[in-house]
A and B are shown apart, each in its own frame.
Chain A
Amino acid sequence: MSVGGSGISSRMAEIVGVTNAMNDPAQIAAYQIDGKSPTAVARPGSSEEVVEIVKFAAREKLAIVPTGARTKLGIGMPPRQYEIALDMTRMDRIVAYDPGDLTLSVEPGIPLHKIASALREHRQFLPLVVPFANRATAGGTIASGVDSPLRQIYGTARDFVLGMEFVTGDGIAAKSGGRVVKNVTGYDIHKMMIGALGTLGVITGINFRTFPLPRATRTCIATFRGSAGACELRDAIAKSVLRPQTVEILAAAGGSTAALGRRAAVSFENDRWSVVVSFSGDEQVLDRDRREWEALARGTDRSAFESLTELRAEPAENANRHIAELPAAILEHSPNAAIFKISALPTDLAGIARGVQSIGVPWLVVMRGLGITYLTLLPPDRSEGSLRLLQQECTRILSLSGKAPWGRCVLLWCRPELKSEINVWGPPPGDFVLMQKLKSVFDPSGILSPGRFMGGI
């Protein structure tokens, strides 16, 4: 780095205009990542401005972290170096929306709720029921790779992002994919951008496939004493003819988790495990779903079965919203909470459910029926010892990563201090060497979110 703080700010002001460049410490504090502040903030208004900023940064060896609404900057490791926060929220337009073609092109800074209202007019939606949905941007949601309970039938961004535009670390604007729902032209580079935390490129445009909004939905909850019955019901649903749009198992124990249960509209008391399933379709279909599901719920593990409840109808774009928002609620409630994402197979869920019950601190799980578990650990109280205990348990769980039934564990959110002790990504996988080589192709000077991703990428 040969340019000082004032040099960075003045160059940013030249590129994006004075009003869109910030270096006032009070304003910059809002862009902290794990306690680390940038030197300057730039709010580009176009892909061309992004190109200019990245070229300047590459020349001067300045690190850039692209940001949206800054709701998920806690995911990943802190940046090794952090000079420029690239605030993408000025690029918030819908570039094209063709309801008849089920396609939508947006700039990355557009809030998801703005997309939702534009699509709702045509009775369509994006199946992204993700945390912080009232603020989160499309770009941040894609770059952080968060998933939605609706993946049960709609898949993840990997399945419905049709193409992207982005600026690589050498300041080159490029694209891959396209704007049509079916396309195999060229390499699917955009798939790698999903969940890459901005380490491969700054996303400047995203093309989505949109989906028709179901006519009606219904959410049903079955409650069991203990985890076995709940996991058995998940298995039974998977083998049945039912095609629910969400299947989630929730449970928690200890501390103040009961309050979080109320936020998710379930009870966590007395070893209760809830299976929350939502269905979509017209009323006649929902009646059949409800009937079949009730038979399945009552048919599994009679001794453990407790109750059936039905929630009020909610539009599909909000299905299981109260569950999807749990990470946000947890972090607001307990900033020291640690939230893991565990990738495993559906049949591993029963083993994971047994495993979490021996955790030595208060815990909460949300298990998606397809095998993804969000495990939250909470400090038992406010003492220093309690934080140490939490850290021990986090280390223990990361050490279980890759060992049956735990699957691959990543610590998504935790207090920043923990990250000096723990690598939240766990050990890199066997194809890591290819990821490293790809990183150097996309970002030869290593200026894009350096150190934030797996294995120091």
Chain B
Amino acid sequence: MDSRLLHDLMKLLGPHGVLHQPEDLLLYEYDGSVEVARPDCVVFPLATADVVGIVRLASHHNVPLIGRGTGTGLSGGAIARHGGIIVSFARMKRIMAIDAENQRATVQPGVVNADLSLAVERLGLHFAPDPSSQKACTIGGNVSENSGGPHTLAYGVTTNHVVSLEIVLPSGDLIRLGSAALDPPGYDLTGLLVGSEGTFALVTEIIVKLTRNPEAVKTLLAVFDSVDDATETVAEITARGITPAACEMLDGWTIRAVEDYVHAGFPLDCAAILLIEVDGLREVAEAEAKDVAEVCGLHHAREVRVARDARERDLLWKGRKNAFGAAGRLAPSYYTQDGVIPRTKLPATLRRISEISKKYSLQIGNVFHAGDGNLHPIILFDQRNEQQFRDTIRAGDEIIEFCIQMGGSITGEHGVGMEKDRLMPLLFSEADLALMRRVRDVFNPDGLLNPGKILPTSKGCGEIYVRPWPAAVAPSP
């Protein structure tokens, strides 16, 4: 990296605002995915003005810029695929304003997701998107990836809760998109920016909606001896017109992995569990919990347990949200997929995943958002075994190809990043992708922001993709 640029960055941010020693950069060469690439340096802006300064310097030197929150992403979105400067928002973590009356909060991108909900808890409010990594991931990262979480089934994903963004373009221009008020006149650029995975602009401030906490919450654990019974239960809950706040499924293998680690009280000998939450007015939660329990019974649930208090509820959720961490204890590494299918195709898709597991002799656990058909198969592997690593990627691709055949999508909430850019042509035509590229060029004409993400760089998707060797085990998200 140009020593002049490094010097200017240090002048702008101070010596503690820049990391460039190889041993420091090691920490920033990966995220929660299996991808690896080393940045040339990492910078830590404290304010919007710093970000503008960084962008101007990088543009002048024609060096890529990659925004990063806390690196919990699962598609390589925050990795410097082609080198360059990682802009870590870890120190821009102030909640700038809370407007309880209007249910809005203005935050810097580095604010940790769960910290915002914690800060507004006393006001009876929360920030609805709740990824499993919510205790670590940042709202800036959520905006970039359009993150979801278990409770997005009823409450929507990040884009449904973001009303305005302050962005810095590669030109150094600072622009406000949208407004705290709903329906600002003009094209919905906020909606376009959310989920653009850092390829349009660096986001320096976010105005989000806050959601009122429900009066009552009921969390049910339903235990099944067959996966099909569990998936049919999900279908019938929908058919009865119930939209639970969350509807999660874990298969038998995952249950045993989690139980051994979290001790959530999941039965060890079952084939599947559903974790279903209903909320609202006390009367709503009670009536829906009764309905859900009845549906579970009709589909041969051998047990339906209702969490008696907040502690029991938290324990059940801890079991769900730590499923990935549990997988991390059982193998040197794991690869989490994120396919989406129409929920009526759940049984067929789970059968196909089981076949793929056998075909490659790979252990695949299933933990997923059953209510909206968003699958997270966890494929265990040992990164030292090159053949196994390649098989893992192939197995992941086969699962995704099946999701597409079922009319689904390649990513529900983890993003395309550098993991799935090569799969984009399976869903989108050359014309679709060309238009997306032209839209990106409006914001990021020289490809300086997060290059090598979302849009495939080469034509055709049949080629064999050789990945860099993963140097470190991905942390649990």
Contacts and interface: CB of A to CB of B under 8 A. Distances in A.
A185 B424 contact: yes
B369 A434 contact: no
B145 A184 contact: yes
Contacts of A389: none
Contacts of A49: none
Given A174-B429, A429-B186, A454-B185, A187 B196 contact: yes
A100 B373 CA distance: 11
Contacts of B93: none
B431 A172 contact: yes
A175 B414 contact: no
B152 interface: yes
Among A288, A426, A430, A434, chain B packs the most CB atoms within 10 A around the CB of: A434
A431 B411 contact: no
Contact of A174 (B283, B284, B432): B432
Query: Which residue, B181, B184, B369, B407, has most C-beta atoms of chain A within 10 A?
Result: B181
Contacts of B441: 441
Contacts of B431: 172-174
B467 interface: no
Nearest to A426: B185
B443 A343 contact: no
Interface stretch (B81-89, B235-243, B309-317, B458-466): B235-243
Interface in B363-379: 369, 372-374
A311 interface: no
B399 to A, nearest CB: 15
Interface string A337-366: 000010111111000000000000000000
A180 B432 contact: no
B372 to A, nearest CB: 4
B410 A185 contact: yes
B22 interface: no
Nearest to B103: A238
A431 B188 contact: no
A162 to B, nearest CB: 10
Interface in B411-437: 411-416, 420, 424, 427-429, 431-432, 434-436
A80 B442 CA distance: 25
Interface stretch (A130-138, A193-201, A413-421): A193-201
Nearest to A194: B188
B120 interface: no
Contacts of A176: 432, 436
Contact of A344 (B181, B192, B196): B181
B407 A187 contact: no
Contact of B187 (A175, A196, A407): A196
A398 to B, nearest CB: 12
A211 B432 CA distance: 29
A346 B372 CA distance: 31
B344 A100 contact: yes
A289 B284 CA distance: 11
Contact of A101 (B342, B374, B454): B342
B281 A242 contact: yes
Contacts of B413: 182, 184
B443 A100 contact: no
B371 to A, nearest CB: 9
Interface string B436-458: 10111111000000000010000
B428 A235 contact: no
B471 interface: no
B2 interface: no
Given A100-B235, A288-B283, A343-B181, A180 B188 contact: no
A258 interface: no
Interface in A81-99: 98-99
A168 B454 CA distance: 22
A343 B185 contact: yes
B186 A432 contact: yes
Given A182-B372, A192-B187, A431-B186, A243 B341 contact: no
B373 A101 contact: yes
A123 interface: yes
A215 B284 CA distance: 12
Interface stretch (B33-41, B59-67, B155-163): B155-163
Most B CB contacts (10 A, CB to CB) among A99, A168, A192, A282 go to: A192
A346 B102 contact: yes
Contacts of B185: 343, 408, 410, 425-426, 429, 454
A434 B443 contact: yes
Contacts of B436: 176, 186-187, 189
Nearest to B174: A430
Interface residues of A, number: 82
A295 interface: no
Interface string A125-158: 0000000000000000000010100000001101
Contacts, number: 235
Contact of B342 (A103, A124, A407): A103
A445 B443 CA distance: 20
Given A100-B238, A341-B183, A343-B183, A431 B177 contact: yes
Contacts of B424: 185-186
Interface string A242-284: 1100000000000000000000000000000000000001101
Contacts of A159: 156, 160
B242 A212 contact: yes
A331 interface: no
Contacts of B454: 186-187
B101 interface: yes
B328 interface: no
Most chain B C-beta atoms within 10 Å of own C-beta, residue among A187, A432, A437: A187
A346 B101 contact: yes
Given A182-B152, A285-B284, A345 B102 contact: yes
B287 interface: yes
Contacts of B265: none
A435 B186 contact: yes
Contact of A370 (B182, B191, B195, B287): B182
B368 to A, nearest CB: 11
B156 A155 contact: yes
Nearest to A189: B439
A347 B156 contact: no
A180 B195 contact: no
Interface string B1-15: 000000000000000
B281 A156 contact: no
B148 interface: yes
Contacts of B434: 172
A6 interface: no
Nearest to A427: B185
Contact of A371 (B182, B194, B235, B408): B182
Contacts of A347: 101-102
B474 to A, nearest CB: 20
Contacts of A196: 187
Contact of B191 (A188, A215, A428): A188
B287 A282 contact: yes
B435 A168 contact: yes
A372 interface: yes
Interface of B: 99, 101-104, 124, 145-146, 148, 152, 156-157, 159-160, 175-177, 179-189, 191-192, 194-196, 212, 214-215, 235, 238-239, 241-243, 280-284, 287, 340-344, 369, 372-374, 407-416, 420, 424, 427-429, 431-432, 434-436, 438-443, 454
9 contacts: A156-B182, A176-B432, A179-B407, A182-B152, A189-B439, A191-B192, A235-B101, A431-B186, A435-B189
Given A241-B212, A429-B186, 6 more contacts: A183-B340, A184-B195, A195-B183, A213-B241, A435-B189, A441-B438
7 interchain residue pairs of minimum CB distance:
A212-B241, A191-B191, A101-B342, A241-B215, A100-B344, A182-B412, A183-B409
Interface of A: 98-103, 123-124, 145, 147, 155-156, 158-159, 168, 172-176, 178-189, 191-192, 194-196, 200, 211-215, 235, 238-239, 241-243, 281-282, 284-285, 288-289, 341, 343-348, 370-372, 407-408, 410, 425-426, 428-432, 434-435, 437-438, 441-442, 454
